[in-house]
Structure 1
């Protein structure tokens, strides 16, 4: 099947955002692997949208918490709530049973239980509160937008070679355990450097960028370990959970 150079980007945009794009010619690994590496670029429009909402609300003198909540709501709409759904399903699966098959069945069922509802409420509370704090620095909204893009890079970490998929079928199986470690290290060096630069632009210590990257990687490492022990590997919902948790911790670390 003929592929075009834009297919990986189309895959990334179509998977991670609600932006309408033509689907790629196929979902083979030569499309999905570079597509996952392009995740931070694919969500650049959402990062700009979050920065714009925060900046506009601040300039209009609106209530900081309400502005931050609006920015996070716009982000959720821009990703179809896909990652929040993954957070809820993963939390319910982790709380359901120590049996891998039963846990995966709960995850696939999709209805939100107490653990999933609590996880969404807590993670969104941290995201909104931290985003409100970033209204104070002049370039704080830009840093928040950059963190939105960088947080999508944790999905690539969960695709590292050697980390098994929880299921052998489904879209996630086409890119889990497919990305070389060197590519992930290179991507995160670029992301960390970019975050350091934006933090300095926002009149914050440059090392805040390193801290944001470090907490995101620590969170995804913990979640990967839990997923392997409880589910036997990584599922698409686990990636959504990792993105939402990483964003919350990165926003908090930036404050």
Structure 2
């Protein structure tokens, strides 16, 4: 259970106390991440439904729910997305890109990427809100899908781009099949709730994570903790948009 506790400590604001993580515990935390994502998504879905019940307009409810998720994760994932966008957007060798990512400021690539990703999430949540319990299930599935990509970014054979930090702790810690196994499980859940649209929601996110991991490993010389955050936001956004498209179907609707 140390891996579970570490996953909660890393990925949420919950005050879970853990020791300095040994390599096996850090690897276990990455494997637990989709469960943490599902729980965060379920709570966020409850927030969305509560706001809708109070009569908050759909887009405002979606934006507030996105804000809740950012606060519940200490903003780590959105920060990772922003830093990764700036790193990919700059010219020069990997060292230059990594320096830009460490800078802490938000450049134009980061700003535009955040506007698109968070705006798409908020709009999708607004479309999901009228579907009631199905909306809660959709946000939970999207949250799990976002964190399932961690295992692919951390697969064996991909080194850390720089020493120290979360990336160096978990780089190369996962067998190649771990992420596909999670994607299959989530695709089955998506099919049960939304038919083939649910499968597509997981599949598109998986393809985007694979492409992101390949490109960032080539551009940065490996993976970083920021890439984990970017992978989470990309897959979550894809899942929410596709699940919100066309209205609820299947048993979840």
Pair in the same fold by TM > 0.5 = yes
Query: Take 1:246 and 1:105, find their aligned partners in 2: how far apart are those partners?
Result: 26
Gaps of at least 5 residues in structure 1 are: 1-5, 200-205
Q: How does 1:1-255 map to 2 (within 5 A)?
A: 6-23=1-18, 25-138=19-132, 139-199=134-194, 206-254=195-243, 255=245
Shift of 1:250: 1.0
Shift of 1:81: 0.7
Contact 1:165/1:234 (8 A) holds in 2: yes
Structure 1 stretch displaced more, 107-116 or 144-153: 144-153
Query: Take 1:148 and 1:187, find their aligned partners in 2: how far apart are those partners?
Result: 13
Shift of 1:188: 1.9
Gaps of at least 5 residues in structure 2 are: 246-253
Query: Take 1:135 and 1:209, find their aligned partners in 2: how far apart are those partners?
Result: 17
**SS of residue matched to 1:181:** coil
* Post-superposition CA distance 1:63-93 (Å, at most 9, x none): 1111111111110100011111111111111
Tell me the residue number matched to 2:249.
none
The total of aligned residue pairs comes to: 243
Shift of 1:116: 0.9
Shift of 1:197: 2.4
Contact 2:45/2:139 (8 A) holds in 1: yes
Shift of 1:122: 1.1
Q: TM-score, normalised by structure 2?
A: 0.91
**SS of residue matched to 1:38:** helix
Query: Take 1:212 and 1:55, find their aligned partners in 2: how far apart are those partners?
Result: 21
